[in-house]
Amino acid sequence: MGATEQPMIATVIPVLNESEYITACLDSLIAQTYPASRHMIFILDGGSSDNTTELVEEAILRSAQANGPKIELHSNPGKFVAQGRNKALELMPSTITHVLELIGHSTVDAHHLEVLVEEWSRISTMEHQQLGALGSRVLPRKGELDTVESWVEGALGSPLGSGGGQFDRFTTSAPCKIPAFVLHSRHAVVDVGGWDESFISSQDSDLSMRLAANGYALWRTPKTVVYMTKRTGLIRWLKMGHRYGFWRTKTVIKHPKRISLREYLPWLGLFLTLSLALANMDSWVLPPMAYACVLAIEAVRMSLKFGRFSMIFGVPMCLFMLHVSFSVGLLDGFIRRGKAPSDRA
């Protein structure tokens, strides 16, 4: 990607019942400083029962009136993210060179595409492998967060909750295994066969693993940020944790290199505690006491960081819920086939 050429970018957004958020998402893309003539937006609707499609149609008109990027709305009969992105890949013109993945409950800054392109060019000159993916940092949505949202953000902002994944608060550009909200080389995506439609969730992790296995470089940069609305209820938070654990197992089964021993620490802690208890050893209380102390430290730290007293109770509760639900999901992933997620319902 030379200095004299600007890539043609297609932003792909699979949606399902995103009426609360899709307008802000599309408005942030319409406002991009990147030339509108070099940018298209594909919305793939999986059968929304709210007024998501009507709001997208309104955004199509607004963008046209503002000389913004062309927005296309298409149905996604497959309903899920992987099917939607693959369909967009088929629909987009041959001139498209790069594909940006976003979701309906996210927004970006006005310079997002412009900086991504600059970073892509800079990294490409120093990377000996062909760059296949460049991800962004993920931060909370803009505006005041409600109580549960702040607890969730505190949990994800903790080393006990992020695990170095998409919610990692990294500060330097560097190679990574699984970048988030990625700008992809279209050639690279096509070269590895697109998104695996057997993955109802974690399809991006699977794609990243296949890109890396085929010799493509994967990077992330803190210079671009995606603001994401996360779970606003504790039941949805529980379901999300289970879904992440469930599909992590499905990913590990297909890509054993994706395994992370730290994700199995809750199970190891439980087995250690039960083993000590069954051996009638008084020390069985030590693992749960140590765990409780660590949660308490994180509770105080996050409460001070965010300036919210309620996080003293909310953060350890959300961390505990995440550890339990994710761990159960890890085990469940060996037993059942996947089904449609309900943590956004």
- Does the structure show a pLDDT above 60 at 69? yes
Domain limits, the chain: 9-233, 252-332
**pTM, 2 dp:** 0.88
pLDDT at 165: 66
Average pLDDT, the chain: 92
Q: Are 139 and 107 in contact (CB under 8 A)?
A: no
Query: How confident is the model at residue 42, as a pLDDT?
Result: 99
Question: Taking the domain 9-233, which CATH number applies?
Answer: 3.90.550.10
Query: Alpha carbon of 72 to those of 11, 127, 198, 252: distances in Å?
Result: 10, 34, 26, 35
> From residue 169, how far is each of 65, 187, 217 by CA, in Å?
37, 29, 21
- Candidates 88, 109, 108; CA nearest to 99 is 88
CA 138 to chain centre: 8
Angle at 89 between CA 100 and CA 139, to 5 degrees: 20
Overall residue count recorded for the chain in this entry: 345
First to last CA, the chain: 41
Helix (H) or strand (E) holding 20: none
263 vs 116 pLDDT, higher one? 116
What was the pLDDT predicted at 1?
Answer: 52
Please check whether residue 329 is in contact with residue 242, taking contact to mean a CB–CB distance below 8 angstroms. yes
Residue of higher predicted confidence among 342 and 106? 106
Q: Average of pLDDT values for 284-300?
A: 95
Write the secondary structure of 114-162 as one string of H (helix), E (strand) and C (coil): HHHHHHHHHHHHHCCCCEEEEEEEEEECCCCCCHHHHHHHHHHCCHHHH
To the nearest whole percent, how much of the chain has pLDDT over 90? Answer: 79
CA distance 296 to 291: 9
CA distances from 175 to 102, 132, 216 (A): 20, 11, 11
**In the block, residue with structure tokens 């949990």:** 155
**Cβ distance 235 to 193 under 8 Å?**
no
Per-residue pLDDT tens over the stretch 145-194: 889 999 999 999 888 987 666 777 889 999 999 999 999 999 999 999 99
Q: What is the pLDDT of residue 268?
A: 94
